[in-house]
Amino acid sequence: MQDRSYEQAKQDLIRKLSQELQDAMHSRIHFLADGVTVAEVTADIDDPMKREYVAHFLLNMTIRSLLATYQEKVGVPNARQLQEIMGYLDEMIEREDQKK
């Protein structure tokens, strides 16, 4: 049985990494509205795994936003198509998370 200090250290590390990822994602979202690409906005992230994770998140959010806006203004894709696309994006995220 592992001692409590090991488990606590592991949980603390998970929390720290999770917070770092959240901070990295949230601090970059507004740049996308200014026309900066995901590659440009994540180029300063030294850790390649962290950069990839943040890039996937930002690209996913960009795609979702563009689709929702386009559907609202143009009516395409229709609600069923949008649901299908969003489900696909969710599945891709889940697959990526399972790889790590």
pLDDT tens digit sequence for 65-99:
888 888 889 888 998 998 999 999 999 888 877 77
User: What pLDDT digit, counting tens, does each position of 12-39 carry?
Assistant: 999 999 999 999 999 999 999 899 999 9
pLDDT of amino acid 2? 58
- The proportion of the chain whose per-residue pLDDT surpasses 70, expressed as a percent, equals 96
- The proportion of the chain whose per-residue pLDDT surpasses 90, expressed as a percent, equals 57
Q: What is the pTM of this model?
A: 0.76
pLDDT of amino acid 43? 97
Spell out the residues 6+ positions from residue 61 whose beta carbon is closer than 8 angstroms to its own.
Answer: 29, 32
Exposed / middle / buried, residue 48 (Cβ in 10 Å: 0-12, 13-18, 19+):
exposed
